[in-house]
Amino acid sequence: MKRRMTLIILLTLIPNVIAWATVINVPGDYPTIQQGVDASSGGDTVLVQPGEYVENINFNGRNITLGSLFLPSQDTVFISQTIIDGDTLGSVVTFNHGETSNAIITGFTIQNGFSMNGGGINCLSSDPTISNNIIDGNTAEADGGGIYCDDSDPVISRNIISGNSVYNGAGGGIYCWNNSSPIISGNIISGNSADNGGGICCAPVSAPVISGNIICLNSAAPGGYGGGIYCLACNPLISNNVIHSNVATSWLFGYGGGVCISECGAMIVNNTLSLNYARYGGGMAVLDASYPVIKNTIIWENTAPTVPQILIDDGSTLAVTYSNIQDTLWPGNGNICIEPLFRDSAGNDFHLMSIACGDSFSSPCIDAGHPAMVDSLLDCSWGLGSYICDMGAYGGGDSLITGISDDYLPVPDRSTLLQNYPNPFNSGTTIRFITVESAGVKLAIYDLLGREVQTLIDEFRQAGIHSVAFDAADLPSGVYFYRLQVGEAVKARPMVLLR
């Protein structure tokens, strides 16, 4: 096929920069995305039309922009309409030839990858820019269900990273190790699962910046560490994140529902940890000679049979200042122990109440942060005071950098069936799914011959996140499928019962 090239003026992802770019259209110029990538040169743009592309993409060292029509239009509808499906044949997208930050992937749904590491995206010795994508339903056998970073410093921004899983390893959503220092900013990281670090795992010799994310509904395996974030022998900066409703538990073990810090120091600044659950340390666990610093942070309404808010083992230390932690007035300058008055924690709104914004009360966390820090922007979505910075995820620093208050993140416009957890399982497992509209829902279990063996749900359900327990005590070992029907839409996933 003859290559057709068009020169256009295109706004790049770097603000205020205009560059000339050669555009290769898929499927106009080439029928597949990989062919378009292979035909490109540094600085080119491969522009992909809406559709489903069953491919496994490798950038092969090309510092190009690969984008859907979201790129020129900034219309997020194209993100869910332009799908790269890995067909369980490897990582959906691979960067492993030293790509720089000028290698950009933006505006896609990246799904159904299956690999040893990095089911969705695998970054090996490369530093790409990964922005404005939905990375959903990918699986890794070892580490990094959604994204895997090895000796890589990618920029991972404004993505929805959901429903990814790891069979026997860490980092259900994102895994980074071995001299990796990614910037993980402004993402929704939700509904991922792994043995350790259901949402994010930071492994030895890494120094990620984890800023401005919503990290929720992730889970570590029974006996695992860090439902939301697990940091092992590394030095992360964790700032301005809302970390809620994550789980790390079993009847015997499970440490750090929200965050688990092990063998390392960490800077934990202006975060909100709430509604997390673990066997030990519902909000946070600090283990194995760790020495993190917590500042301007709210840790409230987390639960655990042992030490609901923060667990510290005998060999670790923790410095806490200007923070609001439930149950105990923590030693250190500026700490308080007062109901923070979230606007609607039951509805997952962890902004602080303010009379100036129409609420009945004002939070004691307003203007209560470190006196050397100020809120750069004062409005009802960010800094609510006028003197010094607020405590919690929506105070301190620059809201335009963290971006968690922006309406720019892509929002799924379709129901999502998440991978069951644990998987493989013995007798009992949990199936979760998300519905974006109220509808009739049927969730059923089938064997390899397509015979329905059990119906779990067959009723009308409201839009939202749903969790269903499945007891397979009466079934033999083997591969089964669970099938979700929401209205006319149908999705299915495999699961393995082992006895």
Backbone angles phi, psi at 402, to 5 degrees: -75, -45
- Say what the pLDDT of residue 487 is: 83
Mean model confidence pLDDT for the chain: 87
Among 225, 364, 209, 344, residue whose Cα is nearest residue 274: 344
At 99, list the tokens.
Answer: 């790509």
pLDDT for position 448 = 75
What residues pair up with 312 in beta bridges, in sequence order?
286
pLDDT bin (cut points 50, 70, 90) of residue 236 is: very high
Mean pLDDT within 325-347? 93
Average pLDDT over residues 92-98: 97
Average pLDDT on 442-451 reads: 86
- pLDDT of 3 reads 35
pLDDT in tens, 106-160: 999 999 999 999 999 999 999 999 999 999 999 999 999 999 999 999 999 999 9
Kindly report whether the global pTM for this prediction surpasses the value 0.85: no
**Letter string b/e over residues 366-380, b meaning 16 or more CB atoms within 10 A of that residue's CB:** bbbbbeebbbeeeeb
Domain boundaries 416-497, corresponding CATH code: 2.60.40.1930
Provide the pLDDT for residue 2: 32
384-407 burial code (b ≥16 CB/10 A, e <16): bbeebbbbbbbbbbebeebbbbee
The pLDDT tens digits for 37-58 are 999 999 999 999 999 999 999 9
Q: What is the pLDDT of residue 250?
A: 63
Q: Decide: 186 and 207 in contact? Cβ < 8 Å.
A: no
Cis omega before residue 27 (within 30°)? yes
* pLDDT at site 62: 96
CA pair distance 268, 382, nearest whole angstrom = 18
- Give pLDDT, residue 436: 65
